[in-house]
Amino acid sequence: MRTVVIGGTGHIGSYLVPALVLAGHEVVVLSRGKREPYRASRAWGQVEVQSVDRDAEDAAGTFGQRVRELRADVVIDLICFTEDSARQLGEALRGEVRHLLHCGTIWVHGPSATVPTREDAPRTPFGEYGIAKAAIERYLLNRDGLPATIVHPGHITGPGWVPVNPAGHLNPGTFEALARGNELALPNLGLETVQHVHAADVAGVFLAAMANRSVAVGESFHAVADGAMTLRGYAEGVARWFGREPRLSFLPWDQWRETVSETEAAVTWDHIAHSPHCSMEKAARLLGFRPGYSALEATLEAVAWLVDNGRIEVEETRHG
């Protein structure tokens, strides 16, 4: 099939696009052209890459028309963040595409009431990102003539970038502290949760939804590792991977936030206020998909890349 991937050189696309090529798809990638894929693959030599400024074309009202004129069988949208943007693309593709797949987020759920949270749980999103993604989901799954599927990833990780760390933010120094055996302070009792997913597994859910179109259209699916990690359990796992016994301390939120920057505190609050723990049962049952990485395995692969590329300075330690 002819498949268009919007935002195909990012985290997910770096795994998804080569897999589509290897599966025999004719692939067109629309990208701003500011980033090379995170993974090298000879398959990229068979991909048509077009440089596009989506924000500018959305503002001009021309992006949907651009995509429609590519005459794709399948469109995979990895970088849509507003309902208006989704509507522009959706209206242009109604009756023109066999399958539209959209990348959402597990934050459409808001805080979990029952865990593991299923896709049919009531939506109580908070924050601009989760609210916008929930609005996109409502539109795409309720628009006649638009055969859409939503994939909701957790905290995407993999080699090439810094994952959400055991303190809930993105400072790689947290991993460095654990590698050196230093004490790490965590908020509250360290029992809030994060739920990572390897970018390869997110790509796998998209591929499985395409392969099972008849049951995927009109549905949303989580893309997470099986099981969430508490901040405490995550920190312990990383420390032991480095050959260290974890040294953890715990502070009430109002005290802990004073130990980090304002930006780091805001990122951590977003993560622990959600404390996701989502189910992968639906993807297994309808799509036959099961994640290849546990949450800890996915994050440790990213941490190993940080070490190997000098992004974390560590003493001589055992790891792996």
Closest by Cα among 99, 97, 94, 110 to 152: 110
Q: CB burial class (10 A; 0-12, 13-18, 19+) of residue 36?
A: exposed
Statement: residue 116 has pLDDT above 80: yes
Query: Are 122 and 169 in contact, with CB atoms under 8 Å apart?
Result: no
Say whether the peptide bond before residue 246 is cis (omega within 30 degrees of 0). no
Paired with 250 in beta bridges are 186
Statement: residue 199 has pLDDT above 90: yes
Q: 200 to each of 18, 35, 281, 308, how far by Cα in Å?
A: 11, 18, 18, 20
Paired with 28 in beta bridges are 4, 48
Statement: residue 319 has pLDDT above 70: no
Closest by Cα among 185, 223, 192, 199 to 299: 199
Phi-psi region of 97 (alpha: psi -120 to 50; beta: other; left: phi over 0): beta
Confidence at residue 316, expressed as pLDDT on a 0 to 100 scale = 57
State the Cα torsion 2-73-281-193 to the nearest 10°.
70
What are the extents of the domains in the chain?
2-156+197-223, 159-195+227-276+293-308
Q: What is the mean pLDDT of residues 272-278?
A: 97
pLDDT digits (tens, 9 = 90+) for 225-256: 999 999 999 999 999 999 999 999 999 999 99
Q: What is the mean pLDDT of residues 269-278?
A: 98
Q: 2 to each of 90, 97, 100, how far by Cα in Å?
A: 18, 10, 12
pLDDT digits (tens, 9 = 90+) for 281-291: 999 999 999 99
pLDDT digits (tens, 9 = 90+) for 26-55: 999 999 877 789 999 999 999 999 999 999
Q: What is the mean pLDDT of residues 77-87?
A: 98
Confidence at residue 35, expressed as pLDDT on a 0 to 100 scale = 78
Statement: residue 317 has pLDDT above 90: no
Statement: residue 76 has pLDDT above 50: yes
Q: What is the mean pLDDT of residues 182-209?
A: 98
- What are φ and ψ of residue 314, in 5° steps? -125, 155
Residues 6 or more apart whose CB falls under 8 angstroms from that of 18 comprise 39, 41, 43, 44
Q: What is the mean pLDDT of residues 7-34?
A: 95
pTM, 2 dp: 0.97
Statement: residue 301 has pLDDT above 60: yes
Q: What is the mean pLDDT of residues 122-129?
A: 96
Average pLDDT score over the chain = 96
DSSP string, the chain: -EEEEETTTSTTHHHHHHHHHHTT-EEEEEE-S----SS--GGGGG-EEEE--HHHHHHHT-HHHHHHTT--SEEEES---SHHHHHHHHHHHTTT-SEEEEE--GGGG-S-SSSSBPTTSPP---SHHHHHHHHHHHHHHT-TT--EEEEEE-EEE-TTSPPP-TTSS--THHHHHHHHT--EEEETTS--EE-EEEHHHHHHHHHHHHHTHHHHTT-EEEE--SS-EEHHHHHHHHHHHTT----EEEE-HHHHGGGS-HHHHHHHHHHHHH---B--HHIIIII----SS-HHHHHHHHHHHHHHTTSS---S----
Confidence at residue 277, expressed as pLDDT on a 0 to 100 scale = 98
Confidence at residue 222, expressed as pLDDT on a 0 to 100 scale = 98
Statement: residue 318 has pLDDT above 70: no
Question: What superfamily in CATH does domain 2-156+197-223 come from?
Answer: NAD(P)-binding Rossmann-like Domain (3.40.50.720)
